[in-house]
Structure 1
Amino acid sequence: MEPRLRQTRLQKWPLLVEAQALTDFNTDASKQETGDSAPSSSPDIHLLPTRLLRSHTKLTKKDHTLLLLKQARLQAFGTLRPSSYTSATSATLIFAQAEAGTAVCIHDSGLLLTCAHCIAETGAELDLSKSHLLLFASGTVVTAQCTAWDLKRDLALLQITAAQRPPGGQDNSGLSQPHWQFPSLGIADRSPKVGTKLVCIGQPGSEDLECEETGVETGYEVLCVSEGTFRGYADGQDVQDNEEIGALMHSCWTYWGHSGAPLVERTARMGEMLVGVHSSWDDETGMRRGVGTEAIRDFLRERVDLG
């Protein structure tokens, strides 16, 4: 889901919720320097069968069929995936439900980052016990639960709790796999310069919401890679406040369903790095908006011990 400029809310709800019953992370801010070292505790991740049935996914028949369709299209897309930005693409996930958004894996233990509004629009809607079904770009299906939700920054963390198989095809016959290594993307320690080339990797919705008729399909691929540039931050907007609209500005093409999609810069020194996530767009100017690395790093620093 990709909202236009948000203008009103009916009621104030808590801006931050953390799931204490889930993985307990050490939140000592002094220990958080980079986004690419191990969390303080290793999550218990269960093995999903290769052939998923509705008894496994708990989805309606319609949504289960959609999940399998997305999986088949992602697996077919693998042969067409651009050779550039392979790390970022491999670390990108899409939500299984229709128009439900995008996420990115920021640690190989299965820690996922997305927009808060992809999980819940308000605190009243937030259900921390809910399992979310997502698919990696490879087509691997995982389930994940929300471990932190920050409406003001429009960021949420999820932890993978089950997966079809470890990437690379290795498998275990046991119920859990203690050393999973998922494709992940490091987080940049600074914002790029204005004009820097970016790519956005996300899930465009299948229904044309700009058409007067309902039910018209867009024909877009289930996962799209678009190019653009970093346009800086909106004048006068707090980079930590992305609740109404994202402070980061960029020109990568997006559509409904791109919310939570990684914005990636590639440098000679660091390679592919996450510099933001797409969140929204300005319906007056058409400028795409997102949440920048400053907000992401502060969000993580307050909640996660990444070494």
Structure 2
Amino acid sequence: MSTTIDTTGASPNVTTRQTRSSTRQALTSTASTQRDQSPDSSSKKPPITPLPSDYSRWRIPLPPEDRDALVTKHDWLTTHTIPLPKDVLRSISLDPMTYLNPVDATYVFAQAEAGTAVCVSPDGILLTCAHCVAENAGELAKVPFRVLVSASGNMVMAQIISWDPVRDLALLIIDKAQSPQRPFPYARIASSPPKFNSRLLCIGHPGSEDLESRKKKKTGYGTLELSEGAFRGMAEDQDPHNNSKIGALKHDCWTYWGHSGAGLFDRATGNLGRIIGSSGSVSRRVRDE
């Protein structure tokens, strides 16, 4: 399963929208500015199918535990905000067309297990880890879509358009949403690697189960957590294009299992530098320092 995707917003085959900011009290005017100045190419794109605002009316074949997880995560995201550092808020306010809000671009999977994705195009293209979507090709073939919730609480359905288990990357495209207006808030992908010790932000969805406890305990983490850290270079003995076992990028942002697919953002620019791989590779990156 593979396809070529235009992440600039010019693709005629996909659609876009702008959602409420999870830091909406501070950035309402910013979101409005981005929406008003975005190029409108909607006439060339098929509309996104609206989903009922009442998710009890959804006719989605989700397992009961995943439906329960969807409700829990949606309720949390619509009643909490993810506070951004003051310098980041200032950068967004000063130049909203260049420094895009990384929280707005973040999504969590509705499945009972955790998992994160980042919107990388105003057309609604989501980047995540392959293992967040499916562990193997057989599992991938069973269900061609996934349900996710944005940081602002917009529930969406997204079709899987690319899946690469070697690089541990997957792309999905939103085709149904509770709020189907365009464009989608997104993060720009950095054109070059960050410099050593560049400051980073990580925004991800940590798991609710404490895997470090012998007894079943809840972690108490929020559905989304923001952590700060720095880029610590690349592992010399690891192929950066092979993330099937462990990733090459090292950082010291706090992460937990479930952060897979979470964005690592350059704090100076707001650009997406990388997504988090498996929890094992995250642990190695931290321990290496």
Tell me, in whole angstroms, the C-alpha distance in 2 between the residues paired with 1:284 and 1:89.
20
Tell me, in whole angstroms, the C-alpha distance in 1 between the residues paired with 2:283 and 2:61.
41
Match among 181, 184, 189 for residue 183 of structure 2:
181
Stretches of structure 1 that go unaligned for 5 or more consecutive residues are 1-16, 19-23, 27-31, 167-178, 290-307
Equivalent residues in 2 for 1:190-269 (5 A)? 190-214=192-216, 216-267=217-268
The residue aligned with 2:150 is: 136
Shift of 1:239: 1.3
Q: How high is the TM-score relative to the length of structure 1?
A: 0.73
The residue aligned with 2:130 is: 116
Which amino acid letter does the alignment assign opposite residue 247 of structure 1? A
Aligned residues: 244
Q: Does the aligned pair in 2 maintain the 1:142–1:164 contact within 8 Å?
A: yes
Tell me, in whole angstroms, the C-alpha distance in 2 between the residues paired with 1:121 and 1:60.
17
Tell me, in whole angstroms, the C-alpha distance in 2 between the residues paired with 1:130 and 1:245.
26
* Percent identity of paired positions between Structure 1 and Structure 2: 43
Shift of 1:99: 2.2
Q: Does the aligned pair in 1 maintain the 2:119–2:185 contact within 8 Å?
A: yes
Q: Does the aligned pair in 1 maintain the 2:203–2:264 contact within 8 Å?
A: yes
Name the structure where helix makes up a greater proportion of residues. 2
Q: Does the aligned pair in 2 maintain the 1:196–1:230 contact within 8 Å?
A: yes
CA deviations over 1:101-124 (Å, ceiling 9, x no partner): 100000011100000111112223
Q: Does the aligned pair in 2 maintain the 1:254–1:288 contact within 8 Å?
A: no
Counterpart secondary structure, 1:127: helix
Counterpart secondary structure, 1:276: strand
Shift of 1:258: 0.4
Tell me, in whole angstroms, the C-alpha distance in 1 between the residues paired with 2:155 and 2:281.
34
Q: Does 1:158 align with 2:172?
A: yes
CA deviations over 1:254-284 (Å, ceiling 9, x no partner): 11110000000033xxx31000000134579
Q: Does the aligned pair in 1 maintain the 2:260–2:275 contact within 8 Å?
A: yes
Tell me, in whole angstroms, the C-alpha distance in 2 between the residues paired with 1:286 and 1:276.
16
The residue aligned with 1:42 is: 14
Tell me, in whole angstroms, the C-alpha distance in 2 between the residues paired with 1:96 and 1:49.
16
Shift of 1:161: 1.3
Aligned-residue CA RMSD in angstroms? 2.3
Name the structure where strand makes up a greater proportion of residues. 1
Q: Does the aligned pair in 2 maintain the 1:57–1:64 contact within 8 Å?
A: no
In structure 2, relative to structure 1, the CA distance for the partners of 1:162 and 1:60 (3 Å cut) is same
Shift of 1:25: 4.2
Tell me, in whole angstroms, the C-alpha distance in 1 between the residues paired with 2:230 and 2:256.
17
In structure 2, relative to structure 1, the CA distance for the partners of 1:135 and 1:55 (3 Å cut) is closer
In structure 2, relative to structure 1, the CA distance for the partners of 1:41 and 1:234 (3 Å cut) is same
Shift of 1:194: 1.0
The residue aligned with 2:68 is: 65
Counterpart secondary structure, 1:231: strand
CA deviations over 1:26-56 (Å, ceiling 9, x no partner): 6xxxxx7xx5442242354210011111643
